[in-house]
Amino acid sequence: MAGVRTAVLVLCAGLLAALLAGCGDGDRDGGRPPAGDATRAVADLLRQRSAAVRDGDEAAFLRTVDPQAGPYRQEQRTAFRNLDALPLADWTLRLGDHVPAGTARATADVRLGYRLRGYDTGTATAAQQLEFVRRDGRWYVAGPAPGSRPQPWDQGPLTVVRGTHSLVLGAGRPEAGLRDVAAVADRAVPDVSAAWDGAWVRRVVVLVPASQAAMGELLGEGPTDYAGIAAVTTGRTDHRDGADRVVVNPEAYDILGDLGRRVVLTHETVHVATRGRTSPATPLWLSEGFADWVAFGSVGRGPRQGAPELGRAVAAGRLPRELPADADFGRAASGDRLAQAYGEAWLACRMVADEWGADRLVALYRAVGAAESRGEAVGPALRAELGVGLGEFTERWRGYLERELG
């Protein structure tokens, strides 16, 4: 969404990892196990923990937690009940590391794969480092390693709201507010489906943490890194797994009016819908501009209303010479430059829809995403779908900016 978020497809494949643990048989006399036994025991306890989550067996789940962990056991009880409230189609934990033999405490990488029934067409994956401890021949999870990223179900009691086209997960947020988010997301999905005819699940999962700082924790960033950014969409352009999440910054989202909230969630839902046709070859001006074209179109906003910062620059004679670069959408960009970049991208896509038709804009998006590399993407796709080269396209776009904003 223009001026309120950083680059799309911003975040890592490891956004949604699990609090994991285990219980496996080691040596019964407490002595050092043979080489490899620790790794096998921890891998086995992860299988047990996976089964406990899938079976909804809280007692079995808690048996994998260090009995001397104190408050962590209660946190794990809450995490299990949060998970039990989710429509899990699958939940599988695997050890991604070796546990050294002859040790009673170890830190190891654990991989999670899971799917939400009715929402994910692929598997959400994540990685986390966990601490394990062996007591009386048994291995247990003792807690996350320092610096490990929490997950939505780790941040306290979770409220789950099911909308017509949405699933909203909120930690430490009033249920009424989460229902409002679901209502906005429910409007966004059909708006996006009307503009994008590609195959997608036509549902969206929205995470609403308790605060901006909690959002930063979920995304592995600092407490103020997302200041002023109302929402982001997780996912990677080289992984078309069909398991994206929209993460809301409540401190930025809450101050928006009804129209602003609708623009934000529609924009992010576009990223969910177009994930399968977005690749490393797709420049951010196209992915962000297309998302804004759908979002602003859904509320009937014109250029002067939707791109005021760019309008001021054009009116002052500062007409951009080139389409915005990826770096212009980064958090390092200044506020005005970031807002202008979103406006420039939106109006590039709006121009395509106005002058060639909405179907050509969609075709252009697909063609660029299908390219093998960035260098082979935009120019050939412009010629194939619109009949112009990049230079001519850029000049027509500059003229369009002058007509619409000058």
Map out the domains of the chain with their CATH numbers.
1-13+150-278 (3.30.2010.30), 37-148 (3.10.450.50), 279-406 (no CATH)
Question: What's the mean pLDDT in 272-296?
Answer: 97
Supply the pLDDT for residue 240: 66
The model's confidence at residue 3, banded by pLDDT at 50, 70 and 90, is: very low
Question: What's the mean pLDDT in 182-192?
Answer: 98
- Beta strands 138-144 and 166-171 are unpaired
Asked if 8 contacts 291 with a C-beta cutoff of 8 angstroms, the reply is: yes
Return mean pLDDT, the chain. 89
Cα dihedral 291→296→299→300 (10° resolution): -140
Supply the pLDDT for residue 147: 86
Question: What's the mean pLDDT in 80-109?
Answer: 94
pLDDT tens profile 314-336: 999 999 999 999 999 987 777 78
- Model confidence at 363: pLDDT above 60: yes
**Which pTM value belongs to this model?**
0.88
- Model confidence at 258: pLDDT above 60: yes
What is the 8-class DSSP label of residue 275? G
- Model confidence at 92: pLDDT above 80: yes
- Model confidence at 218: pLDDT above 50: yes
- Model confidence at 4: pLDDT above 50: no
Helix (H) / strand (E) element for 352: namely helix 335-355
The model's confidence at residue 237, banded by pLDDT at 50, 70 and 90, is: low
In percent, the amount of the chain with pLDDT more than 90 equals 82
Q: Is 244 helix (H, G, I), strand (E, B) or coil?
A: coil
Question: What's the mean pLDDT in 30-53?
Answer: 82
- Model confidence at 311: pLDDT above 60: yes
More confident residue, 231 or 31: 231
C-alpha–C-alpha distance, residues 295 and 267, integer Å? 5
pLDDT tens profile 370-381: 999 998 899 999
- Model confidence at 17: pLDDT above 80: no
Helix (H) / strand (E) element for 208: namely strand 204-208
CB environment 223-251: b (16+ within 10 A), e (fewer):
eeebebbbbbbbbbbeebbbbbbbbbbbb
The model's confidence at residue 21, banded by pLDDT at 50, 70 and 90, is: very low
Supply the pLDDT for residue 12: 31
The arrangement of strands across the sheet holding 231-233 comes to 158-162, 166-171, 204-208, 246-248, 231-233
Supply the pLDDT for residue 20: 28
- Model confidence at 105: pLDDT above 90: yes
- Model confidence at 23: pLDDT above 70: no
Q: Which residue has the tokens 């002595």?
A: 31
The model's confidence at residue 225, banded by pLDDT at 50, 70 and 90, is: very high
- Model confidence at 121: pLDDT above 70: yes
C-alpha–C-alpha distance, residues 273 and 293, integer Å? 14
Backbone angles phi, psi at 41, to 5 degrees: -65, -45
